[in-house]
Chain A
Amino acid sequence: MGQTLNRAASWTAASDVGKGRLEFTPRNEAILNSIIRFVEEFPLKHVKESKLVFKLPLEWETSLQASEFNFGGYQSIDGSVVSSEVNDKTGKPLFSLTKKDIGGNILHVWTIEQLVTVLKVAETKKLREARACLEANRDPLTKILGDGYATVEGEDMTLLRLMESIIKDETEKARGGSVSNSSGRESTPSKTSLRLLMLIQQLDVQLLNDSIKLMSKEVRLTPDVVAAQVQLVESLSGQDRNKYLVESIEYTSDMVNPQGFRTPLWRQVHGDICYLKARTFDKDNIFITANISGVYEIQGFQDNGDMNYDRIGEIHRDLISFLKAKSSVFAENLANQDFTLYTVGMADASGNESGLLCSDGSEPSTPKLENVKVSVEKDKLQKQAVNKNLSTKAGSRKVELSAKQKTPIGDENQRSASPKQVQAKRGMKTKPVPATWQKAQLLAQDEGTLSPSDRLQKASATSRRSTHGKAPPSEVMSDSSSESEEEEGTHDRRQESSDLPSEYWQIQKLVKYLKGGNQTATVIALCSMRDFNLAQETCQLAIRDVGGLEVLINLLETDELRCKIGSLKILKEISVNNQIRRAIADLGGLQTMVGLLQDPNKDLKCLAAETIANVAKFGRARRTVRHHGGITKLVTLMDCVPLTSAMTPEIEKEVKVARCGALALWSCSKSRKNKHAIRRAGGVPLLARLLKSAHENMLIPVVGTLQECASEPFFRLAIRTECMIEDLVKNLSVKNQELQMHCSLAIFKAAEDAETRDLVRKYGGLDPLVSLLANNENKDLLAAVTGAIWKCAISRDNIKKFQELKAIELLVGLLHEQPEEVLVNVVGALGECAQVPGNRAAIRKAGGIPPLVNLLTGTNQALLGNVTRAVGACALDPENMVIIDRLDGVRLLWSLLKNHNPEVQACSAWAICPCIENAKDAGEMVRSFVGGLELIVSLLKSEHHEVLASICAAIANIAKDEENLAVITDHGVVPMLAKLAQTNDDKLRRHLAEAIARCCMWGNNREAFGEAGAVAPLVKYLKSPDEKVHCATAKALYQLSKQPNNCITMHESGVVKLLLNMVGSSDDVLQEAAAGCISNIRKLALANEKAKYSS
């Protein structure tokens, strides 16, 4: 018994002072019960031994009261002390119960017989008494038989000693013959005590055996227990150190044998169940071995990839206690949640009455822990839901609705152990799905970009979810795993279920198999899922709504090639849906897919790239791809064998990989930073190489990528230098409208550069472009082609070519009934063509003027800009002007000055200039516009140089009419022009000088300009490199020099020297103006001298 108590029974930590307490563990309970049974049966079997008087009484504090011993054989002394009537030889009572000072009673017992009585009296409190007794008498044998029999470590000699003493007695007795009675009397108790000792030791051995059996049951870990614990910890892993216990935990191997072991056979011999890799918040990767004998840390993977199975540190009972010891954050977070556990535990215990034997929370804690986790998770979810509600005020009703309904789903994920278990078995990384899922939902709903039909879909999806409960009976049967949560959500889900398509339930079933099956079942389920019409939105959303997306994405992280391929095949098809795309991105699918781009399997690479191409249709996804190094990997995919070699199946596959890479890059290249990333990754030469391919399906993504990237100057340069123009032009003649369109778009964007425009002509690209104008059906193509023509027409040489090809007539024909995208480009092209005088007449003859003027009433800013330019260019031809005037075009142009777009303002003002120049009776016309002159003067306050320059040009033209000049002078044009004189912009300088020159013609404007300080800055204009500025400035200075004060200012500014240079100019106007100015200054000087002499 002593050995058992010492070894097997677990004492609480306070036991070091000798006054320890027995822990409430099932094992201790079993020991106590055995001891009680032993004691109770003892007097019946061994009458003599039970009466043996102990050397010292067993003494303990009891909860029994004196009054309970009021039956025969016991006498009560003054109600507090009870003693037995049976006394030993010395007259001591064999039993006594005395009251302690503090309260409570002390029992003294001398025989086992009396012990039995005590136990009888105690009845239900037996266990407690026994425990108290053993706690007070840690080694009962010393009390019973004396100190010589204390339990000692190592060899126990007591029995031998006792035997020897008995044998000695016996021999003495034999020697002494039948001598004294006393010796005989003495030998009897020693024999009795021997028997008692042996009996007790027998009990001890038996107890030890029993507890070892119990212990071994507890300590041995089984694969099931380990799997359950890993799954538990896994479900509590995540990034947030405040919420989760560990960052991540995963198996190092996915192979599971039927017994649940995940270790190589030769390690199973050592009892290793599995190896785990965990990231705690305190320490990075820890490699853990779950052995049958316990959990411990091992060295883990070495640099050479081999596993080192050497143990580090001690063995722990299970995974939880191991992590508790390893990670303080784990212990801390566990403690927080343990608090809840204890309350739950207590509640259980109180209901359990026994009280004494409630679990101490350490041993069988696992199942309860899980319980608590669920409740904690639930709390979290609810909190999240509340937060979301607060943060999204707009449309909060809707959000609230969905949040409410998502909560049970979160539970579903927590509750139904099956999917988790499977995922754990497959070694997947499970994520805290509910939170992200919910977020995804909410994000999707908050997105303002959803079209009304999308919203409708969303609503129906929600209602679909809400009808989950009322399935046809057969469906419920097949779905029995989720029965528990079915009940929870029933009340708010029971709504019209009839409108749910049958696919929904079938897909739900398949997703269940995906979750709960091994790779074989998964592949069958994946293949069956592909039989659904995945292009249909109901199916796409059904997969999402039943939680299929998470599973599909999780599958991508497994090692099973076929599962990955099957999953991607589905993801590829359903990701055409905008909502699915976002959900995939939210669930972190892109990161995984980017990782798969490096897989050695080509099919897998292709599928991953194609899916990325579908998902990366919105900015956030494109950014994710870039951040995870996806662009570089995609560019690498395009690096395939030269396309010229013969097509074997092997090469064909490589070409397909390259195509898929280009496809994904095309999607990604819509972001500016991605374009740069493509260049940095060396994508340009690869694109150039693939552009030489003869396959349309390869060319489309390549050209598509090129045309997206061509918006960046560096890429335009690359397109030119890598000789891609030639290929682009060549592909214009390919009979594929999509390809033609992308080529045209690429040329449209690349032709911003003059050299590129020349190259297009050089490679004969203008002919196919013009011939494509005949295609009136495909508006996208038409827009792209007209755009390319527009940009190409910026080069004069190209215009000549267009003239030859009669492009103008074709373009004019396109001015009718075309979408705005086409019109913008057509008008832009006409505007460029009209810069060449001959074409203006051509436009008129083709009947282009009236539609152009009509377009002035439009609202599209880009279109208006081009139209005003075109009309302005046409107005340079007097015959055109007649038509424009007749159509009241000038008034329309003038009203466009009020447009808030500065570009349109400038273009209209420029267009007005030739109109005034060429219109008959222009002065009268201008005056007829009510408020027109005031408007134009007020535009001198604009901040845009282009607008200012154009307005100055217009004012210069308006001021030719004296009456109008008078009006604008009244509107204060002089000080406003003077204020602009400080500018450095040559274009503005030129037109400003022009305007000043004209405005000098009225009243005392010359003096006014001088006073406003416009003269000195004007002199500086003569230093400008632009000759046109010189000419205009000279004219202005000539006009201003007619006023003596201005001459003085000019002279002081050193104008003479500058003008003297101008006199030698080849430009007559400049020459004359400069000479006139100098002459005026000279005249003033002469007059001055004359005045001096005369005085």
Chain B
Amino acid sequence: MASIIAKKNQAKLAENIYKHTHFNRLEVEELLKIYRKLTPEKLDRTKFRDVLHNTFNMTDDILMDRVFKAFDKDNDSFVSMEEWVTGLSVFLKGTLEEQMAYCFVVYDLNGDGYISREEIFHMLKNSLIRQPTEEDPDEGIKDLVELALKKMDYDHDSRLSFSDFKQAVELENLLLEAFGPCLPDAKAADGFLATFTGVTV
């Protein structure tokens, strides 16, 4: 009996939220089923990270946490059903506009509306092979940070505002994930979509 009620609630929820996503109603229902399978309660950070790691091959700890934060819009350390569906909508099928906003949130580590030089450094610090011979092993990273800023900081204030970021990405789409992978690659996304869109067709 309880499960029937839960199912009804789920259907209701699906009805409510699918219009705000890129999914149709059946897809939303499938997503909610997946959510249920993942956790009986709310999806917490660890479980969410497992999903990111296993399904979407993400490995970067910093960014996985940030992706969680980006999903968790109400900041209660859980991803609710609604957050799960709306988040995945951007994550998997988002328009460039949506994904830009999402990536910016991910990269803005302290959430102050700007990606600072230090934040970029933090995110890039593992991106180069360190030469043991080098005097300053961080020099390459610093240089890389400067290159990124030079490329993207249009108003020359040594930090990236959203408009900087947007302008740069619109000019060169490759810069969408400029500071580390936070979106699934096409193969993983298709693979995930195929697990439930197949049902609806």
Chain A residues within CB distance 8 Å of chain B:
255-258, 265, 418, 421-422, 425, 477-478, 480-481, 483, 509-510, 512-513, 516-521, 523-528, 530-531, 559, 561-562, 565-566, 600-601
For B144, list chain A residues within 8 Å (CB): 513, 517, 521, 524-525
Could you say which residues of chain B place their CB within 8 Å of the CB of A531? 151
Please determine whether A521 and B174 come into contact, CB atoms closer than 8 angstroms: no
In this assembly, does B126 line the interface, its C-beta being within 8 Å of a C-beta of chain A? yes
A518-B127, A521-B128 are contacts. A480–B134 as well, Cβ < 8 Å? Answer: yes
B143 at the A/B interface (Cβ < 8 Å)?
Answer: yes
Q: For residue A562, which residues in chain B have a CB less than 8 angstroms away from its CB?
A: 174, 177
Choose from A257, A265, A421, A523 the contact partner of B178 (Cβ within 8 Å).
A523
Chain A residues with Cβ below 8 Å from B180 are 520
Chain B residues near A510: list those with CB within 8 A.
147
Contacts of A425 in B (CB 8 A): 129
Residue of B with least CB distance to A506: B147
- Docked-complex contact B129 and A523, CB < 8 angstroms: no
Contacts A524-B178, A566-B174 given; does A255 touch B57 at CB 8 Å = yes
Chain A residues lying within 8 Å of B181, measured Cβ to Cβ, are 519-520
Q: Is A509 a contact partner of B151 (Cβ separation < 8 A)?
A: no
B112 CB within 8 Å of chain A: no
A608 nearest CB across to chain B (Å): 16
Which chain A residue shows the least CB distance to B190?
A600
**Residues in A whose Cβ lies below 8 Å from that of B186:** 561, 600-601
When distances are taken between beta carbons in the complex, the residues of chain B under 8 Å from A519 are: 181
Q: Closest Cβ of chain A: how far from B188's Cβ, in Å?
A: 11
Nearest-neighbour CB distance to chain A for B58, whole angstroms, equals: 10
- Measured between alpha carbons, how far is A257 from B57 in the docked complex, in Å? 10
- Contact across chains for A418 and B126 when beta carbons are under 8 A apart: no
Shortest beta-carbon distance, A801 to chain B, in Å? 53
- Between A and B, 6 residue pairs with Cβ closer than 8 Å are A255-B57, A478-B139, A480-B135, A517-B127, A523-B178, A528-B150
CB-CB < 8 A to A481: which residues of B? 131, 133-134
- How many whole Å from A475's CB to the nearest CB in chain B? 12
Given A265-B54, A526-B174: A478 touches B143 (CB 8 Å cut-off): yes
**By the criterion CB–CB under 8 Å, are B134 and A518 in contact?**
no
Tell me, rounded to whole Å, the shortest Cβ–Cβ distance linking A428 to chain B.
14
Q: Within 8 Å CB of A527, what residues of B?
A: 151, 172, 174-175, 178
Report yes or no: B150 in contact with A523, Cβ–Cβ below 8 A: no
B84 at the interface (CB under 8 A from A): no
- Measured CA separation A450–B179 after assembly (Å): 43
Closest-by-CB residue of A relative to B61 is A258
Q: Nearest B residue to A569 by beta-carbon distance? A: B174
Which chain A positions have C-beta within 8 A of B53?
265
Return A474 CB to nearest CB of chain B, in Å.
Answer: 11
**Binary interface profile of B, 160-194, with partner A (CB < 8 Å = 1, else 0)?**
00000000000010110111110001100000000
- CB of A520 within 8 A of CB of B139, answer no
**Cβ distance A151 to chain B, nearest Cβ, rounded Å:** 47
> Which chain A residues border B123 with CB–CB below 8 Å?
520
**Closest Cβ of chain B: how far from A451's Cβ, in Å?**
35
A310 to B1, CA, bound (A): 46
Complex Cα distance, B143 from A527, in Å, reads 14
* CA gap between A513 and B131 in the complex, in Å: 12
- B59 and A483 form a contact (CB under 8 A): no
**In contact, B59 and A257 (Cβ under 8 angstroms):** yes
Q: What's the least CB distance linking B63 to chain A, in Å?
A: 10
**Are B185 and A561 in touch, CB under 8 angstroms?**
yes
Cβ contacts under 8 Å, A525 to chain B: 144, 147
Contact indicator A422/B129 (Cβ below 8 Å) = yes
Specify the chain B residue showing the minimal Cβ separation from A264: B54
Tell me how far the C-beta of A666 lies from the nearest C-beta in chain B, rounded to whole angstroms.
27
Q: Which of A518, A523, A600 has the most CB of B within 10 A?
A: A523
| Minimum Cβ distance to chain A for residue B186 (Å) | 7
- Chain B interface residues (CB < 8 Å from chain A): 53-54, 57, 59, 61, 123-124, 126-129, 131, 133-135, 139-140, 143-144, 147-148, 150-151, 172, 174-175, 177-181, 185-186
Return A118 CB to nearest CB of chain B, in Å: 47
Question: Which of B128, B147, B148, B178 interacts with A516 by CB under 8 Å?
Answer: B128
Q: How far is the CA of A421 from the CA of B53 in the complex (A)?
A: 24
Contact B59 A521 (CB under 8 A): no
A421 vs B128: C-alpha distance when bound (angstroms):
11
In the complex, chain A residues whose CB is within 8 Å of the CB of B151: 524, 527-528, 531
Are A517 and B128 also in contact (CB < 8 A) when A526-B174, A528-B150, A531-B151 are? yes
Q: How many angstroms from the CA of A517 to the CA of B124 in the assembled complex?
A: 10
C-alpha gap A481/B136 in the complex (Å): 12
Residues from chain A with a CB closer than 8 A to the CB of B175 are: 523, 527
CB distance from A424 to the nearest CB of B (A): 10
Cα distance, A256 to B151, chains bound together (Å): 28
Since A481-B134, A517-B144, A521-B144 are in contact, a sample of 8 more A-B pairs with Cβ atoms closer than 8 Å, ordered by chain A residue number, is A258-B59, A265-B53, A418-B131, A478-B143, A516-B140, A517-B129, A521-B124, A524-B147
Residues of A within 8 A of B127 (CB): 517-518, 520-521
User: Least Cβ distance of A782 to chain B in Å?
Assistant: 41
Which chain B residue has the least Cβ–Cβ distance from A563? B174
B172 closest partner in A (C-beta)? A527
B177 touches A509 (CB 8 A): no
In whole Å, how far is B143's beta carbon from the nearest beta carbon of chain A? 7
Contact B147 A480 (CB under 8 A): no
Q: How far is the CA of A258 from the CA of B124 in the complex (A)?
A: 14
Q: Which residues of B contact A521 (CB under 8 A)?
A: 124, 127-128, 144
Question: Which residues from A are CB-within-8-Å of B133?
Answer: 480-481, 483
With A255-B59, A480-B133, A524-B151 as known contacts, state yes or no: A513 contacts B140, CB within 8 Å: yes
Q: How far is the CB of B30 from chain A (nearest CB, A)?
A: 23
Residues on A with C-beta less than 8 A from B57 are 255
Complex: chain A residue closest to B57, CB-CB:
A255
Q: Do A523 and B174 touch (CB < 8 A)?
A: yes
Whether A480 and B131, one on each chain, are in contact in the complex, defined by CB atoms closer than 8 angstroms, is yes
Q: Is the CB of B124 within 8 A of A509?
A: no
Residues of A within 8 A of B179 (CB): 520
CB distance from B132 to the nearest CB of A (A): 10
CA distance A123 to B143 in the complex (A): 59
- In the complex, what distance in Å separates the CA atom of A10 from the CA atom of B175? 57
- Interface-centre pick from B126, B147, B148, B151 (highest chain A CB count, 10 A): B147
- With A517-B144, A520-B180, A524-B151 in contact, is A258–B174 under 8 Å at CB? no
- Which of B126, B134, B140, B172 contacts A258, CB < 8 Å? B126
Smallest beta-carbon distance B98→chain A, Å: 16
Option from B126, B140, B143, B174 in Cβ contact (under 8 Å) with A565: B174
Q: How far is the CB of B124 from chain A (nearest CB, A)?
A: 7
10 residue pairs, one from A and one from B, having the closest CB atoms: A521-B127, A516-B129, A528-B147, A518-B127, A520-B127, A520-B180, A481-B131, A517-B128, A562-B174, A524-B148
CB-based nearest B residue for A419? B129
Instruction: Point out the residues of chain B lying under 8 angstroms from A480, CB to CB.
Output: 131, 133-135
Instruction: Kindly identify which residue among A523, A530, A565 contacts B177, using a CB–CB cutoff of 8 Å.
Output: A523
Closest-CB distance, A658 to chain B (whole angstroms): 21
Query: Shortest beta-carbon distance, A552 to chain B, in Å?
Result: 14
B133 to chain A, nearest CB (A): 6
Chain B residues with CB under 8 A of A513: 128, 140, 143-144
Q: Which residues of B contact A265 (CB under 8 A)?
A: 53-54
Give the complex CA separation of A702 and B174 in angstroms: 30
A561 — which chain B residues lie within 8 A by C-beta? 185-186
Q: How far is the CB of B90 from chain A (nearest CB, A)?
A: 18
